[in-house]
């Protein structure tokens, strides 16, 4: 049975979480999905002044995600700037209708743009089991690092939330397909549109299957896209074409 996956591709008002959340809620209510993916820092935009926008680890944006999940019966995922244990994190939440919350702290911070100077990197991958599927959580720049995202038959789909600039849109589209193909997994990727003080964004959010084929794609407008992810289909494909068994073994050392 397929899991209904939706991706919201919005414009984001700069550093205005209450207005953004109010504008997004009708899309959440109407998504008709089992899981809805939102972009990176969806409540504020990709702001590198975390003292201005970060909330506590159990702050109002997470509370809103909890309420949406309970009210509309779908899981939600996306990243938020948080302040936890005295440091700032770019934290991707996965919130289930039951109230269960999982999170992933972005590991690859975008050093060229100053993110590594403003936030503390996470040190562990997060795989969430939900609806009969295993989801690896990833945030934006992580997409460029295939070793970090390498599947060892431990997940079925990648959820990637991003604020990926239009100037590098070819890399975005290419890397998403590459990660799907090399890991034989579904990919859901949520990017934003519009602009902020640092960049312009072209969208190009997608839902891909485990062969890298397009299931649904967005253009450069605010929209919601949907597709079904079938866990039995990805399992059958890996059994039929078990390329993952021939992958090079490695051990990851995290500083």
- Catalytic pick among 31, 47, 140, 185: 140
- Catalytic pick among 31, 40, 47, 151: 40
Token output for 5 = 């996956």
Per the CB < 8 A criterion, the answer to whether 68 and 24 are in contact is no
Mark whether 223 is an active-site residue.
no
Distance of CA 194 to the CA centre of its chain: 18
In the block, residue with structure tokens 């919350």 = 101
Which residues lie closer than 8 Å to 231 by C-beta, 6 or more apart?
3, 132, 133, 156
Which residues lie closer than 8 Å to 27 by C-beta, 6 or more apart?
8, 10, 224
Instruction: Categorise residue 222: left if φ over 0, alpha if ψ from -120 to 50, beta otherwise.
Output: beta
Q: Which helix (H) or strand (E) holds 53?
A: helix 50-53
- Catalytic pick among 31, 47, 106, 161: 106
Residue 4's DSSP bridge partners are 228
Token output for 153 = 């038959």
Determine the Cα angle at 216 with ends 214 and 221, to 5°: 125
Mark whether 151 is an active-site residue.
no
Mark whether 170 is an active-site residue.
no
Per the CB < 8 A criterion, the answer to whether 45 and 198 are in contact is no
Determine the Cα angle at 117 with ends 116 and 123, to 5°: 40
SS3 state of residue 183: helix
Q: Which residues participate in catalysis according to the annotation?
A: 40, 106, 140
């Amino acid at each position: 049975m397929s899991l209904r996956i939706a991706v919201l591709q919005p414009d984001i008002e700069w550093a205005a979480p209450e207005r953004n959340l109010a504008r997004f809620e009708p899309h959440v209510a109407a998504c008709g999905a089992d899981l809805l993916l939102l972009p990176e820092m969806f409540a504020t935009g990709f702001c590198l002044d975390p003292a201005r926008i970060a909330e506590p680890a159990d702050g109002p944006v997470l509370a809103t995600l909890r309420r949406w999940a309970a009210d509309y019966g779908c899981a939600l995922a996306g990243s938020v700037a948080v302040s936890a244990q005295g440091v700032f994190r770019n934290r991707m939440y996965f919130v289930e209708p039951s109230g269960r919350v999982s999170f992933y702290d972005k590991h690859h911070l975008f050093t060229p743009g100053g993110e590594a100077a403003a936030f503390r990197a996470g040190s562990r991958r997060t795989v969430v089991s939900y609806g009969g599927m295993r989801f690896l959580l990833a945030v934006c720049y992580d997409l460029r690092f295939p070793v970090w995202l390498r599947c060892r038959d431990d997940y079925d789909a990648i959820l990637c939330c991003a604020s990926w600039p239009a100037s590098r849109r070819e890399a975005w589209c290419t890397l998403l397909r590459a990660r799907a193909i090399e890991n034989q997994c579904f990919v859901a990727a949520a990017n934003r549109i519009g602009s902020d003080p640092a960049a312009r964004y072209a969208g190009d959010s997608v839902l891909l299957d485990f062969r890298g084929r397009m299931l649904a794609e967005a253009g450069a407008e605010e929209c919601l896209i949907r597709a079904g992810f079938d866990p039995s289909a990805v399992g059958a494909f890996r059994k039929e074409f078990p390329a993952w068994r021939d992958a090079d073994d490695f051990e990851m050392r995290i500083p």
